[in-house]
Amino acid sequence: MDIVDRATRSRMMSGIRGKDTKPEMMVRTYLHRVGLRFRLHAKLPGKPDLVLPKYRTVVFVHGCFWHRHENCRYATTPASNPEFWQKKFTDNVQRDERVKRQLEEMDWQVETVWACQLSEPELSDLADRIRNNESGGLKDDD
């Protein structure tokens, strides 16, 4: 049973954004501050949040609830209509895996940042992983 009425829940859910979320803005700000330049929402499979062509790397900033971060306290399942939610979450996870495979087959390095892991050390590790892929940059079409 939901703790709020249908109209309130609908209003709450409609306020959830897909782009320029607070976690995404935190990642963008950090990576830009450390000198990594990127493009936003490029037309690649899954529309990655950040694309770093120089490093042949894409970054997805995932919310723990929607993308089911394993063993995360934020990856809860609502008590009302659990069958609907379970299907939605399963579909999201399967889509994430499919998109990751597609990008890797296209020789992109795929990085996933979880909303609950947006600390300075975690973001520093992300920047290091991206920089270590510099040799994987765009290939010449010779």
Q: Is the pTM of this model over 0.85?
A: no
| Angle at 42 (CA atoms; ends 53, 22), nearest 5 degrees | 100
* CA gap 51, 43 in Å, rounded: 10
* Predicted pLDDT at 134: 64
Contact 78, 12 (CB under 8 A): no
* Type of residue at 29: T
List, in order of start, the domains of the chain with CATH numbers: 8-132 (3.40.960.10)
Cβ 25 vs Cβ 123: under 8 Å: no
90-131 pLDDT per residue, tens: 999 999 999 999 999 999 999 999 999 898 889 999 999 999
Cβ atoms 57, 44 nearer than 8 A: no
Extract the residue ranges of the chain whose pLDDT is less than 70. Answer: 1-2, 9, 12-13, 15-18, 134-142
Residue 42 has a pLDDT of 86
Fill in the DSSP letter of residue 74: T
49: buried, middle or exposed (CB in 10 Å: 19+, 13-18, 0-12)?
A: buried
- Residue 42 tokens read as 């490029």
- H/E element, 108: none
Q: Which pLDDT belongs to residue 17? A: 66
Note the pLDDT of residue 88: 93
What pLDDT sits at residue 15? 64
